[in-house]
Amino acid sequence: MKNSLIRLWRFSRSPQGLKIIRYSLVSVISALTSLVILIIVFGVLRLWSEVYSTLFSNILAGIPSYILNRRWVWKKSGRSHLWREIVPFWVMSLVGIVFALFVAGWAHDFAQNHHLRHFDRTLLVVAANVAAFGLLWLLKLALFNRIFAQIADVEVGAEA
């Protein structure tokens, strides 16, 4: 057990370990941003249904997620590359959002069928949103790590 903790501690101090920690923190920030927006637009203001509120909150949360991932996790600066950075990020984000919308639709149907109160519906849609994005977290980490590593390799090759 002690050796495992020591290895974990050393890994957390390595460049890859720090990248995973930063990526995790960006994910937490993005999730909290999305959940706060979702609670406000669906739970408090009751602007839209579960599905539209989920869509709105996740699109808005994607903006700081992209910026923080690019600058803080993968240490990229300057202009974003449309086809190598922006498009892959938003394609993966939209896959997550579509999955979250599917789960939000399920939450809506479940709430309707079980005659849940609005507070309970809000808890259900928030939990559904967290579950949907939790399932896609590791896939996005692997994909974004590969994308930004390839871009760094291309830039290093161009400088040589």
Q: Which pLDDT score is estimated for 6?
A: 84
Integer Cα distance of 145 and 64 in angstroms? 18
Q: Count the residues in the chain.
A: 160
Kindly report, residue by residue over 53-92, the tens digit of the pLDDT.
989 999 999 999 999 999 998 889 999 988 888 998 888 8
Domain ranges of the chain: 15-159
Q: Are 39 and 127 in contact (CB under 8 A)?
A: no
Instruction: Express as a percent the part of the chain with pLDDT over 90.
Output: 37
- Count of CA atoms in the C-beta half-sphere (13 A) of 111: 22
Instruction: Express as a percent the part of the chain with pLDDT over 70.
Output: 88
pLDDT band at 150 (very low <50, low <70, confident <90, very high): low
Q: What pTM value is reported for the model? A: 0.73
What value does the CA radius of gyration of the chain take, rounded to a whole number of Å? 18
DSSP string covering 122-142, please?
HHHHHHHHHHHHHHHHHHHHH
